[in-house]
Each structure stands twice: as structure tokens, then as C-alpha cells.
Structure 1
Amino acid sequence: MNDLLFWIVQTLLIFYVLFIVNHGELRFYLFLAILCGFAAYQSLMKKIYNRLLESMIQLVVHLWRLLVKAFTHLIFQPIKSLIIFLISVVVFVGKGLLTLAKRIGSLLLWILKVVLLPIKWIFVSLWGLLPKKATKSVEKIYAKVAGFLKKSKNTILHYIKKVKDKRKK
């Protein structure tokens, strides 16, 4: 395909030069001159031209490889390394904060238990001092409040589930 295109372009170029020089007249000596020029090229210039062409192709290939390596080492790799470093820092800080939050949470829970334990002892002691009739009315109030709190908890959990389902869609 390349040879065919080459010869078509050469033919058009020769006809254009002939058209400018002698108005496109074809004569026998013109074909003889073209044949002699082709033979001279084949015997004298073909090896030099092919070496020069190969050298130019190798130069272009090496320059392209150099540019690709330079881009990779000077631009791409530093940006990639920076992104990996930033992700590592974020993950490290996130894990540290999560561990800290867990420890603070367990510490707060322990403090809450320590503070509420004496209060629990006081209420248990006072509960035993209340008369039976008063304890039954307190138990009824406790049951109503517990029922209300359980119903509120179920309603909130149902609402949260609906919100999560909407986000998934």
C-alpha cells in the first residue's frame, strides 16, 4: 500500500513539474530521464538513503522513549507518590482518632459507672424503705415510662431504616 501511494504521489508530482515546465507534454526522452534517474538512485543513493532513514527513525524512537521516561519520572511518579502518601496519612490519622475515640468512650463509660454506682446504691436503699403500696404505684409509672421509651425507640429505629433505604436507592 505504501509503495502504491508513493508511486501515485511521484507520478502526480512529475506531471505537475512537467505541466509548469512544458505544459504537460510527454516525450520519449522524459521517460528515458526518469528511468536513468531511478537507476542512478538504486545504484548510488539507495544504501545511503536507507541508512539515513533508519538513523532518523531510531532518533525519533529514542527521543519518544526519553520523553515518556522523563514524563513518568518527573511528573507522574511524584504525583502518584504524593497521593499515596496523603492517603496513608489520612488512614493513619483516622485509625488513631478511631482508637482514641474508643478509649475515651470506654473511659467515659467507666467514669459514668463509678459515678452512678453510689447513686444506684442510694436509690436501692430508698426503694427498700418505701411502703409496698408506694412501690406498686412506682412500678406502674416505671412500666408506663418503659413502654413509652420502647415505643419511641422503635419509631426512631423505623425512621432511620427508612432513611437508609432511601439513600441506598
Structure 2
Amino acid sequence: MTLTVQFQTILSMVAMGIWIGMAMDTYGRFLHEKKKWNWFHFINDFLFWVLQALLVFYVLLQVNHAEVRFYIFLALLCGFSAYKALLEKTYKRILERTIQIVAAVLRFIKRLLEVLVVNPIKWIFTLLLAIIMWALNMVWRIAFSLLKIIFLPFKWTGLLIWSFIPKQTWYTFKDKVSKKAGFLRSAWNKAVTWFKK
């Protein structure tokens, strides 16, 4: 391994150490909730560190064909320490600001979609529903009017027949119905009283 390759390897591992620090802060900001331990957190942490290891190995493979030396780990540690000492606060401020900007843009897009898409759809749906209800009401009125016209001859016939029925016969029929209704009402009251007892 030439000195140039070694120098490139050291710089690359320092950069990867800085990257790991940034990735840890980003991961902690979004995914790592401060609650008691559970399997979901364990799996997330495991996948996170596997991904970081694969990235370091890929960079090392591109720089020096994945030749592992002791100074590689020292360069990673130096890069991580440099991030913690010099860049962490600045990166966290930038990260928070970026999150705020993205959240504001997403809220604007959501509001824009509501104004341009959701609200017109609701208005169109309400209009269609009102038109359908108006049409059903008109159909019902027309149908009711037609039924009245259809049954009008039967009404006239009934009134004509009623005019020929003697009033005495009607009063006799009404008295019989009233007597039977009174008997049924009395029987029902007795049955209810017996059931309560």
C-alpha cells in the first residue's frame, strides 16, 4: 500500500467517522425514542449499525481494496471525536432548521391540496347529493300526483256508493263495531291485570 493510498484511506475513515456521528444524531432525532427497551428498538439499532458497517466497508473497498489496518480504527475514532467536539452543535441546529422547513413545506402542500383538491371534491359531492335529493323529491311528488289521479275514479265510486247506503245501516254497523271494540278492550285490560298479578 503506497503512502498516497494510506493518506486517502485515513482521510476517508476520518470522513466516515464524521458521517457516523451525524448519522447517530439524525437516527436519534427521528427514531430512537427514550422509552424502556423493547424488541423494536433493538432491531432498529441493529439494522442501523449494520448499515453503518456496510458503508464503512464499501468506502474502504473503494479506497484500498478493503485492506484493514489498525490506523483505520484510529482514523474513524478521530473523525467521530472531531464531529463531537467541533461539528455536533452546528449540525444539530442545521438538522432542526431543516426539519422545520420541511415540516412547513409539507403543511403548505397539505393545505394547498385541501384547498385545490379536497374542498372542491367535497363541494361537488354536496352539490350532487343535493341534486339527487331534489330529483328524488320531484319523482316522489310526480308519483304521488299520478297515484292520486289513478285512484280518483275509485274515490268517486266510493263516494257514490256511500251516498246510496242508508244512514241507519251505517249507524247500525258503527254501533256493532263499537261494541266489539269495547269487548276486545275490556278483554285486553283483564288479561293485562291477570298477567300483572
Q: After TM superposition, give the deviation of residue 106 of structure 1 in Å.
A: 4.1
1:91 counterpart = 2:133: no
For residues 46 and 106 of structure 2, the distance between their equivalents in structure 1, rounded to whole angstroms, comes to 26
Q: Deviations over 1:29-68 (max 9, x none)?
A: 2212212222233341442343145225524642563355
* Residue 7 in structure 1 maps to residue 49 in structure 2: yes
Residue of structure 1 equivalent to 2:148: 103
CA distance in 1, matches of 2:126, 2:145: 28
Name 2:65's counterpart in structure 1: 23
Q: Which amino acid aligns with 1:18?
A: L
Instruction: Give the aligned partner of residue 42 of structure 1.
Output: 84
2: CA distance, partners of 1:35 / 1:63:
42
Call closer, same or farther: CA 1:28–1:61 in 2, change over 3 Å.
Answer: same
Say which SS state the counterpart of residue 87 (structure 1) adopts: helix
State the distance in 1 between where 2:137 and 2:110 align: 38
Q: Relative to 1, partners in 2 of residues 1:61 and 1:91: Cα closer, same or farther, differing over 3 Å?
A: same
Aligned mate of 1:33, from 75, 91, 107: 75
Q: TM-score, structure 2 length as denominator?
A: 0.47
Percent of aligned pairs sharing the same letter:
34
Q: Which structure exhibits the higher relative contact order, with contacts defined as CA atoms closer than 8 Å and separated by 6 or more residues?
A: 2
Residue 52 of structure 2 aligns with an amino acid whose one-letter code is Q
The alpha-carbon deviation at position 5 of structure 1 amounts to 2.0
Distance of aligned partners of 1:4 and 1:58 in 2 relative to their CA distance in 1, 3 Å threshold: farther
Unmatched runs of 5 consecutive residues or more in structure 2: 1-42, 162-197
Matched letter for residue 104 of structure 1: I
SS of equivalent to 2:67: coil
Name the SS of the counterpart of 1:25 in structure 2: coil
Separation (CA, whole Å) in 1 of partners of 2:104 and 2:84: 25
Return the offset for 1:80.
1.7
* TM-score, L = length of structure 1: 0.53
Once residues 2 and 42 of structure 1 are traced to their aligned partners in structure 2, the CA distance between those partners, rounded to angstroms, is 23
Between Structure 1 and Structure 2, whose CA radius of gyration is higher?
Answer: 1
Number of matched residues? 116
